[in-house]
Amino acid sequence: MNTHVDPFDVLVVGSGLAGLTTALELANGGRRVAIVTKRGADTGATAWAQGGIAAVLGANDDFAQHEADTHHAGGGLCDAQATRLTVERAPQAIRWLQAQGVAFSQEGQALHLTREGGHSQRRIVHAADFTGRAVQEALLQRAREHNAIEWFEHHMLVDLITSQRLGAPGPNRCLGAYVLNEATDTVQVFAARATVLATGGAGKVYLYTTNPDTATGDGVAAAWRAGCRVANMEFVQFHPTCLFHPHAKSFLISEAVRGEGGVLRLPESAGGTRFMPAHDARADLAPRDVVARAIDFEMKRHGVDCVYLDITHQSAAFLQSHFPTIRGRCAELGIDIAQQPIPVVPAAHYSCGGVMVNHHAITDVPGLYAVGETAYTGLHGANRLASNSLLECVVYAQLAATHIAQLEPLASASLPAWDDSRVTDADEQVVIAHNWEELRRFMWDYVGIVRTNKRLERAAHRIALLHQEIQEFYASFHVTRDLLELRNLVQVADLIVQSAQQRHESRGLHFSLDYPQAAAQPQPSVLRPD
């Protein structure tokens, strides 16, 4: 079987907002684009986003305030240029999305703006409480209809193909990727003059997460193996309010619920009182890291399984209008949010670190770009401000597309086929499942909301053992999606722990009992491949 796919101008790995924006901008400019996505096109994290997109559109708002809020949430580690660039391009990003057919919520003739934790103004553009789904559906329809975009669903990135990997002379360059076609169970060769990683985050490295099952750090791990630096991997954002219910399946309760007056309370068994005012002057509108740590503290102090988010002061009509998805899902589980508080716990939500890129989303390896949650642009610093993530996806995808469109075509190169002639079918798939469970559990226990040197050492030891076992498995057996995802998660877990061990302070999303104070001159934690 010929495993080579015809060359493309651009290979986009991932079909969320970042990947779709990149693909559409390039296809509209006449480039031939392949979109590779490891499951269905609509199964990534974008469709799960409830809140919205931050942009300065209100009469009392300005860029300086949005920048200040971003820097404050980011704990002094946000890159000033990246922040300014993103904030100033936000209104244009909203207009671009509207032009693609995204129907945002209106208030009269204007966009309705809501407020979320960490924001000093109402600046969150949204589509009720299903913004991500509205954005995903609109862009996906455009991409499906575009004759310059070719789709490869149920295709998973195995590894990037670089000149260094091939032993070619000269500087390292990305030439394309090896991709597992699940339908044929073969690894195909995709050649492209530019490859864009838009694979999302790595929330599945933790036992409890708001992320979909696809969030296994594929892009970060592949870029690291290809020779790219990563930064700030220790800053994993735990969303403070994930629905606590045995059948909820990672359902998050949007930040906007607190933005519309929702308050956090202890369970009735522990007094039922509000507790956020005792932790921060901003109370329930404090940034996510503050709220997540406060919830973690109160749960441990009182020995309770969850806390409660109370929005019962709002009418049923208001809740149906503003939070139909949340109200409907809670109702399915027997919770009437107009009458009852919502049980919530923190859960791993967003990776603020990632593959280091410049202001055109270019990585350390020419020909390779990273956008969205896969990338580290410097915007989020030590903690992402709510609703800056979808914004970053659009802004940096457009910047990447602009740069890629200016590239000269590469001379065609003969890329070698994937060699699996010396491997066999695995006879112990259960090993993968067990290793996955072990990894996610000890990452939750040792590298969670509150960390210590001893916990990090324990995690590093376990990761080293898992890494060796998985590498032996990878070298001996045919690759499968489960094996590839586990391989990537172990690599990302190692990067998270290494970064956490580098940071001898507490800042933003990284809180250490051994280093409770913040350093005077913080720096990003940068890791370089050997």
Segment 48-56 mean pLDDT:
87
Give me the pLDDT at residue 530, please: 80
User: Token digits for 327?
Assistant: 């109200």
Give me the pLDDT at residue 212, please: 87
CB atoms within 10 A of CB 112: 18
Distances (CA, A) of 375 to 231, 261, 491: 9, 33, 16
Per-residue pLDDT of 323-332, as tens digits, reads: 999 999 999 9
The answer to whether the Cα torsion of 488, 363, 510, 210 is positive or negative is negative
Segment 470-475 mean pLDDT:
85
Per-residue pLDDT for 457 more than 60?
yes
Is 458 an annotated catalytic residue? Answer: no
Per-residue pLDDT for 1 more than 70?
no
Q: How far is Cα 289 from Cα 239, in angstroms, rounded to an integer?
A: 8
Per-residue pLDDT for 47 more than 90?
no
Strand ranges inside 136-247, DSSP E = 149-153, 155-162, 174-181, 186-197, 230-231, 236-243
Of 288, 293, 327, 440, which one is the catalytic site residue? 288
Q: How far is Cα 161 from Cα 419, in angstroms, rounded to an integer?
A: 13
Contact present, 202 and 217 (Cβ < 8 Å): yes
DSSP string, 316-373: HHHHHHH-HHHHHHHHHTT--TTTSPEEEEEEEEEES-EEE--TT-B-SSTTEEE-GG
Least confident residue range of 246-250, 285-289, 342-346, 508-512:
246-250
DSSP state for residue 366 in the 8-state scheme: T
Q: Which amino acid is at 197?
A: L
What proportion of the chain, given as a percentage, has pLDDT over 90?
77
Per-residue pLDDT of 396-437, as tens digits, reads: 999 999 999 998 776 666 888 888 877 777 666 777 888 989
Q: How far is Cα 174 from Cα 160, in angstroms, rounded to an integer?
A: 7
